[in-house]
Amino acid sequence: MAAVLSSEVKQALEDIYYNVRTGRGKEAFALLEKASAAGDGDASCVLARCLCGYQYVWGWHGFPEDDRRATKLLHKSVEQGSALGVLVALRSGELTPSVQKKMPFESLQQAFDEVEAIAREGDAFCQYIVGNSYFWWDFLRIQNKGKDSFPSQAEFKAYMKEQISKCEDWFWKAFRGGIYFAANNLNRYYTQGDEDIIAPQPEKAKDLWKIGAELGYPTHQYLYAEKLEKEEKFEEALRWYKESAEANNGVSWYKVGCFYFDGKGVEQDEAYGVSCFQRELARDPAHVGSCNMMGKAYFYGRGIPQDYARAYQLLTLAHDKGNTNWGVYYLAKCCFEGWGTPQDYGQALRYLDEMDWNYWEANYMRGVIYARGLGGVTADIPKGVAYLQKVASHPEAKEELLHYKKTLFGKWVRR
């Protein structure tokens, strides 16, 4: 009779993988630590996966990343008799000959059969692990086969196709059962195929994120919302961004905030948009997009009382951390006027030089700085006037131009 997963591991899988909306990820992590210490090899295996980053577990649980500890836990799980641990160690490249000798199984096939039996009973995590064994060709080592095991290349290729294709059904089972990132491998399987063995079937991949969204996976709700947003289906996109945000899927509150702040697909509500940005910043105080949008809100006093100092602080944080020029106009304006920061024309010009789009007031500020020689910039009246003339229809530029004239010899001078 096949082994079964302990109640502790089942509960942890539910909270960490199958239903992240419970918000009990950290409690489940602690449960696994306790079970692992008590000798539960499957707990050691799942705990190891939790320490390997967002590619192996939902990133917004906030688990630490620790590859060294993960490796030790995988080795420990093998020694503790976890068939899951054996297959995950194999897939991770950690099932060295010395580690394999410590497993209490007669063969890799015996360990595989045990995991497959649990998978057939409906456990999605085991289904995913079985699917990976076929998808990544681990079955060759499990079954102890290779090209030399077959009388011809054609028979070996037929064998490979038969084995690899088994991953599709297992990944679908895992995907529908709670392992959202099984769709990543399905997407690769469908869009890329597998060498000259499995032909691509891209049409099968087109609705994966939609299916994941409908299954309630926050990550796929976000990805599907992005797709809908690109298609300008704003109302539907907002619905899925909200669903993702309610699960505290990172960046989703920022997206919801943008829709409300700009009135995209919904009646404009700048105050609510600001509250969404604040929720995102509560999760990540240095989130670049939210810092930028909050900086803009403070700069104009949109949805929140105007506060140039706070605007400058947030926009600077986003600019420096994100290596982005999104907020450089606002930063330049603050430096030019001395709003929320000491007046600094030289810094204003440096920010203006980062702009890669046209805006009349940017040219106005450039014109003033060059024409007057402000902030340590060498005065260059012709250059300043040229900038001012680009935006001469604006009253500020028109008034500034009154301070300059051309001599009889065609030289620009200050009046």
pLDDT at 176: 98
With respect to residue 177, please indicate whether it lies within any of the assigned structural domains. yes
Q: Among the three residues 171, 204, 237, which one is the final residue of a domain in this structure?
A: 204
C-alpha atoms less than 13 angstroms from C-alpha of 318 in its C-beta half-sphere: 24
One-letter amino acid of 156? F
- Mean pLDDT over residues 227-255, rounded? 96
Distance set, CA 374 to CA 60, 292, 341, 378, 413 (Å):
48, 28, 17, 8, 16
Interval 28-77: pLDDT, tens? 999 999 999 999 999 999 999 999 999 999 999 999 999 999 999 999 99
What DSSP string runs through 254-318?
HHHHHHHHHTSSS---HHHHHHHHHHHHHH-TT-HHHHHHHHHHHHHTSSS---HHHHHHHHHHH
Domain with 115, as residue range(s), is 7-204
- Mean pLDDT over residues 316-329, rounded? 96
With respect to residue 57, please indicate whether it lies within any of the assigned structural domains. yes
With respect to residue 117, please indicate whether it lies within any of the assigned structural domains. yes
C-alpha–C-alpha distance, residues 222 and 226, integer Å: 6
C-alpha–C-alpha distance, residues 286 and 297, integer Å: 16
Are 306 and 294 in contact by the 8 Å Cβ rule? The answer is: no
Helix/strand/coil for 356: coil
Going 57 to 63 to 68 to 70, the CA torsion angle's sign is negative
pLDDT at 302: 98
With respect to residue 306, please indicate whether it lies within any of the assigned structural domains. no
Q: Structurally, how many domains does the chain consist of?
A: 2
Q: Is the pLDDT reported for residue 354 higher than 80? A: yes
C-alpha–C-alpha distance, residues 403 and 399, integer Å: 8
pLDDT at 3: 77
What DSSP string runs through 62-124?
-PPP-HHHHHHHHHHHHHTT-HHHHHHHHHTT---HHHHHTSSSS-HHHHHHHHHHHHHTT-H
Q: CB pairs under 8 A, 24+ apart, for 237-240?
A: 237/265, 238/264, 238/265, 238/266, 240/213
One-letter amino acid of 70? A
With respect to residue 199, please indicate whether it lies within any of the assigned structural domains. yes
Q: Among the three residues 166, 182, 204, which one is the final residue of a domain in this structure?
A: 204
Q: Is the pLDDT reported for residue 1 higher than 90? A: no
User: Could you give the percent of the chain with pLDDT greater than 90?
Assistant: 97
Interval 192-240: pLDDT, tens? 999 999 999 999 999 999 999 999 999 999 999 999 999 999 999 999 9
With respect to residue 237, please indicate whether it lies within any of the assigned structural domains. no
Q: Report the first-to-last Cα separation within the chain, whole angstroms.
A: 98
Q: Is the pLDDT reported for residue 257 higher than 60? A: yes
CA–centroid distance for 210 within its chain: 18
Q: Which of 333, 326, 256 is nearest to 300 (CA)?
A: 333
Helix/strand/coil for 358: coil
244: CB partners within 8 A, 6+ apart: 218, 219, 221, 222, 225, 252
C-alpha–C-alpha distance, residues 117 and 126, integer Å: 9
Interval 145-196: pLDDT, tens? 999 999 999 999 999 999 999 999 999 999 999 999 999 999 999 999 999 9
Q: Is the pLDDT reported for residue 276 higher than 60? A: yes
Q: Among the three residues 179, 204, 229, which one is the final residue of a domain in this structure?
A: 204
Interval 104-143: pLDDT, tens? 999 999 999 999 999 999 999 999 999 999 999 999 999 9
Pairing between strand 404-406 and 412-414? antiparallel
Are 407 and 414 in contact by the 8 Å Cβ rule? The answer is: no
Interval 366-412: pLDDT, tens? 999 999 999 999 999 999 999 999 999 999 999 999 999 999 888 99
The per-residue pLDDT of the chain, averaged, comes to 96
With respect to residue 212, please indicate whether it lies within any of the assigned structural domains. no
DSSP at 339: S
C-alpha–C-alpha distance, residues 146 and 168, integer Å: 22
With respect to residue 413, please indicate whether it lies within any of the assigned structural domains. yes
